[in-house]
Structure 1
Amino acid sequence: MNKLLTLTIASEIFLLLPFSIIFFTNKKTKKNILLLLFLIIGGGPLLYLAIDDLNNHYIDANIGLGLAFMFTWVYALIALIIAIILVVRKKRKNNSSKE
């Protein structure tokens, strides 16, 4: 398998992980629609540029593809931090309501 394809799939899974955590901890449907929009914003540029790079074999370095990877990784990291904060808040709220 192509190294670019493997790295793209791994990056998209890394992006999907925090959004799935937020999706399963949140029960409001309006927020889930907004969450889907944020997921598309985070993964769209990488998918577009990876498909473009696979179809057109560029001779020079594709700086846009590197920036798309960096954007996706930073976006996924920020989403993961938000997901962890939401899970911790929900746990604390459930523990305080039991007491």
Structure 2
Amino acid sequence: MSNLITLTMASEAFLMLSFIIIFLSTRNPKKNVLFVILFIIGAAPLLYLAIDHVKNDYMDANIGLGLAFMYTWIYSAVAFIIAIIILVKKKRNNNISKEQ
């Protein structure tokens, strides 16, 4: 049970880190609202199924929980790649503007 809580917290922390990087790299408040909604879409399934698994304590393999972990990990990886791309573009634009 403790391992489930640790994995859930680590997965959600990586997802949150990815979105924090995106928040800090964009200054548009309207886009930040969209990113909060996207974060909730990525975080909610894992949180719901982890809480459900802890409350009900299923005896068999909880396939939905495994799929929720995979979904969150893939979602986190995509968000992290997008955050890196945004940071590289922002840094490149700052370097170009300083040269001119």
Give the TM-score of the pair, scaled to structure 1.
Answer: 0.98
Question: Is it true that 1:73 corresponds to 2:94 in the alignment?
Answer: no
What corresponds to 2:26 in structure 1?
26
Q: CA RMSD in A?
A: 0.8
Question: Is it true that 1:63 corresponds to 2:73 in the alignment?
Answer: no
Report Cα offsets for 1:11-61 as digits up to 9, x if no partner.
000100110000001000000000000000000000000000000011110
Aligned-partner residue type, residue 2 of structure 1: S
Aligned-partner residue type, residue 95 of structure 1: N
Q: Give the count of matched residue pairs.
A: 99
Distance 1:33 1:55 in 2: 32
Alignment gaps of 5+ in structure 1: none
Alpha-carbon distance, 1:79 to partner = 0.3
What corresponds to 1:35 in structure 2?
35
Provide the identity percentage. Answer: 62
Give the TM-score of the pair, scaled to structure 2.
Answer: 0.97
Distance 1:14 1:61 in 2: 25
Alignment gaps of 5+ in structure 2: none
What corresponds to 2:52 in structure 1?
52
